[in-house]
A and B are shown apart, each in its own frame.
Chain A
């Protein structure tokens, strides 16, 4: 008995998109722009009476193979892909820095100790860490270095930081939103971090200028490197 596989346009477009995103010379925005082009062409051909399968293969031929597209895009702007990679690198750095700051702030509030107190108890040598008086220092190191990477790894593992992630889409929907949210978070966490200091020493918690400037500098770099559109789900991008 002859079996016939039914052509599914959505699956075919999904496969085409996968091939496109696998190309090193194309940024997420390039892929998205090409997909809108593909869908525009498809709509026109379907309007002329062509079936899904025929229209899809014709459009694919017109647009060209993904490898060729990647070469042409890369030749036009070789630095674009690296700029996008630099953005994601800076974004990951900012996320780990903010998570580290959050960990330190939570620890400072939880232990009701000033950052200076924690710093005094931080062990100078790694083999001394097992002494009980160094425990707050160990916690401080865990909060600064282990906690951020752990949270980031779990979030990525659970798929909350994929290109279609609602959180990522919300934060990166505009450059001004990214800057405002990050700045607010930096100021809030710094304030929390210095809160115990104000209780023990009786003065209004101030923001450590060098610490704030360091984080805000990173926020500025991320905003500067940010492409026009990031973290947009394909479903939304191509919805008719």
Chain B
């Protein structure tokens, strides 16, 4: 399990990366993160929404209430063009950290 600080720091690139793949809603984002990380990244359900709202306020994502296929209305989030640019910057920074750590630990990229 990740530390609280790392969970908080990684929430922005994770949310932006998921939304870059298509619009989604809170519950689905949490499920996706849980599944992709093999249960290593556990976001508390209530924690995600303040993150989403902050990203929306910063103009990185936008939201819209829409009716889902089940007929239930949900608030769907999608990434904005500013959000995509920010995601590119985030990606470079996280990869730099990743590469540096791999070199230090003498690991091959993607071998973990």
- Chain A residues with a Cβ under 8 A of chain B: 29-30, 32-34, 36-37, 39-41, 62-64, 68-69, 72-73, 75-77, 80, 228-229, 236-240
Within the complex, which residue of A39, A64, A80 is in contact with B46, where a contact is CB–CB below 8 Å? A64
> Given the interface contacts A33-B75, A37-B27, A41-B27, does A73 sit within 8 Å of B49 by beta carbon?
yes
Given contacts A40-B28, A73-B49, 12 further A-B contacts (CB under 8 A): A34-B46, A36-B75, A40-B74, A41-B27, A62-B44, A62-B45, A64-B45, A72-B47, A76-B50, A76-B51, A238-B73, A240-B72
A-B contact count (CB 8 A): 63
Give the distance to chain B from A47, nearest Cβ to Cβ, in Å: 12
State the 4 A-B residue pairs at the shortest beta-carbon distance, nearest first. A76-B50, A40-B27, A64-B46, A63-B45
Answer whether residue B85 sits at the interface, using C-beta atoms and an 8 A cutoff. Answer: no
Residues on B facing A (Cβ under 8 Å): 25-28, 44-47, 49-51, 53-54, 57, 63, 65, 70-75
**Residue pair A80, B53 in contact (C-beta under 8 Å):** yes
Contacts of A238 in B (CB 8 A): 72-73
Nearest B residue to A75, CB-CB: B50
Q: Give Cα A77 to B27, complex, Å.
A: 21
A236 to B72, CA, bound (A): 8
- Please measure, in the bound complex, the distance between the C-alpha atom of A229 and the C-alpha atom of B46, giving whole angstroms: 20
Dominant secondary structure at the A interface: helix
CB pair A77 B57 closer than 8 Å: yes
Contact check, A30 vs B54: say whether CB atoms are below 8 A apart.
no
Complex CA–CA separation, A30 to B45 (angstroms): 13
With a CB–CB cut-off of 8 A, which chain A residues contact B26?
A: 33, 36-37
Q: Which of B47, B49, B57, B70 contacts A33 (CB 8 A)?
A: B49
Complex interface: chain A residues within 8 A of B65 (CB): 228-229
Contact B73 A237 (CB under 8 A): yes
B72 neighbours in A (Cβ, 8 Å)? 36, 39, 238-240
B53: chain A residues within 8 A (beta carbon): 73, 76-77, 80
- Interchain CA distance A240-B63 in the complex, whole Å: 21
State whether B45 touches A73 (Cβ < 8 A).
no
A68–B50 Cα distance when bound, in Å, is 12
* A238-B63 Cα distance, complex, nearest whole Å: 18
CA distance A119 to B26 in the complex (A): 58
- Find chain B residues with CB under 8 A from A68 CB: 46
Q: What distance in Å separates the Cβ of B80 from its nearest Cβ neighbour in chain A?
A: 16
A78 to B70, CA, bound (A): 34
Chain B, residue nearest A237 (CB): B73
Measured CB to CB, the closest approach of chain A to B37, in angstroms, equals 17
Give complex CA distance A237, B51 in Å. Answer: 23
Residue from A37, A39, A77 in contact with B45 in the complex, judged by beta carbons closer than 8 Å? A37
Residue of B nearest to A69 (CB): B46
